[in-house]
Structure 1
């Protein structure tokens, strides 16, 4: 018989790729509105939650964990404490997280941790919040957390947290190239603003409210990787390459070895390569590995956060 104290709830949430990311002009509030097409991919964060008198988190996994905070600033701890505060729960939780999504890699790993933690703690504590209530809490933790919760393919607007589902046919084959370093999202956004100032005479001014290119949505609906490859776009790619020129070499290498296209995911530094089919993805994975890059072959779209077991 499992006692309440020994019960462990296991939840899982996916990382994401931004197949399109348009960034609006810098607003008076210091933020940018974005328009993005997210796709959840088969690289997962696993969260195990068990009863405890206070809140703690420990990490394992194949990625570099040295930069991770384990205090109240960690997104998983923030998710657990927010749920406890909202529902009046009086004890805490011990979180054990197996990380497969790179830290500060532009793939929303911390957001996936938070989404899985909300689900796991809700089940562990029996707080029984509705999906809508959990999504509302998710949006207050971070802009990418609602998408990690819902998964699939979706358009995100505002700060990325206002979601509308997007139809995606079939499966897309991706090869991810991970960097040995992380990138700071605020630094990349700052560099974007500087880039736009430097080239103000050469480029159109940024829209206040950007929109996802209709060609991207059409390619997703059709399940056509060739069409999607022509429309992959990220406004943060130029500033990310400016801060880390090594990423340009990675993109070039992938495209020379059969990728239909490569794009920096989110604020980087992970580079996502779209392959035409499984065979092409396997060949690309082998070529990038041979060049001593750390890579993973994944598919999308996949489901969002869910409970796997207790």
Structure 2
């Protein structure tokens, strides 16, 4: 009987994202507040009798408009994650990896990082390699700065390049309306635009997330939280895709407490008072502007192994 393990990992939004100047290594130091939200990527890992790593796309993937052109080769993060786990543990088994994609692609929500996190968890269980979460996170950090958070989930302050995580124990839920774009924005391209826009500015390296914003989030004080939500990448994303500003204004006109770009964009995250308020925002955006939306909440857990029949969840 073929053995399959299915793992699920969440996408994220950045409630706060400050970006420092470019470093000598080409990266940027950031101060971020990550929130894992209820939009998930699934990776099914099935044992093979050889040492090949093969990747496929599940037909239930909701964000892939042209499946035949979706990259499934060695540059896909699920392949890199499986390879990293094999090389680290010396367990050179083969695996078929089937991805169900629901997080907008190149949308600033860490969908690729969620794929990598789910792959690490699924293959670690499938192969019995026995790594704990801390070890998986260290492996994940080599693949991308957002991978450790996709493993951890919940909410966290991220410093360094975003991989130095300090968890926040949130007791209150926040509700959001996502407005995914019909296109993606390359993260390096958005960072490059930000650097050009700030070329003559005195940009400091961020050392902390605004304590007032953290306090408002911990207290569940949405009126205090809304004006403190911030993302330095917004100006760069708007420079590359000016229509995002129009959609942002539509979201706030529809009643969102605040609208901001998530990560490097172009997904917009609209803060709602609660689930019912989020539904009202969605109805107004749909009825008046024909804007496609998704309703999510956070925080949610990080990468987990699903029961054998996840459709029953």
Determine whether 1:64 maps to 2:64. Answer: yes
2:116 counterpart (102, 114, 117): 114
Kept in 2: contact 1:185–1:267 (CA 8 A):
yes
Q: In the TM superposition, what is the alpha-carbon distance from 1:129 to its structure 2 partner?
A: 1.1
Deviations for 1:199-244, whole angstroms, at most 9, x for unmatched residues? x3xx5x1112442111111111101222221111000000100110
1:184 aligned partner: 186
Determine whether 1:146 maps to 2:131. Answer: no
2:220 counterpart (211, 218, 223): 223
Deviations for 1:84-133, whole angstroms, at most 9, x for unmatched residues? 11111122110111111011000000000000100000111111112221
1:55 aligned partner: 53
Kept in 1: contact 2:64–2:101 (CA 8 A):
no
1:214 aligned partner: 211
1:24 aligned partner: 20
Deviations for 1:249-287, whole angstroms, at most 9, x for unmatched residues? 110000000100000000000000000122210011112
Kept in 2: contact 1:167–1:220 (CA 8 A):
no
1:85 aligned partner: 87
Provide the rounded CA distance (Å) in 1 between the counterparts of 2:90 and 2:125.
Answer: 15
1:308 aligned partner: 306
2:311 aligned partner: none
Secondary structure of 1:294's match? coil
Provide the rounded CA distance (Å) in 1 between the counterparts of 2:285 and 2:4.
Answer: 38
Provide the rounded CA distance (Å) in 2 between the counterparts of 1:167 and 1:121.
Answer: 28
- For structure 1, list consecutive stretches of 5 or more residues without a partner in the other structure: none
1:292 aligned partner: 290
1:264 aligned partner: 261
Kept in 1: contact 2:252–2:259 (CA 8 A):
yes
- For structure 2, list consecutive stretches of 5 or more residues without a partner in the other structure: 309-313
Secondary structure of 2:13's match? strand
Give 1:119-198 correspondences, 5 Å limit: 119-197=121-199
Secondary structure of 2:204's match? coil
Provide the rounded CA distance (Å) in 1 between the counterparts of 2:65 and 2:76.
Answer: 13
Secondary structure of 2:63's match? coil
Provide the rounded CA distance (Å) in 1 between the counterparts of 2:99 and 2:130.
Answer: 22
1:242 counterpart (228, 239, 243): 239
Provide the rounded CA distance (Å) in 2 between the counterparts of 1:289 and 1:98.
Answer: 26
Provide the rounded CA distance (Å) in 2 between the counterparts of 1:145 and 1:305.
Answer: 10
TM-score (norm 2): 0.93
1:7 aligned partner: 3
Kept in 2: contact 1:21–1:266 (CA 8 A):
yes
Q: Alignment RMSD, CA only?
A: 1.2
Provide the rounded CA distance (Å) in 1 between the counterparts of 2:54 and 2:223.
Answer: 45
Kept in 2: contact 1:148–1:305 (CA 8 A):
yes
Which is worse superposed, 225-234 or 62-71? 62-71
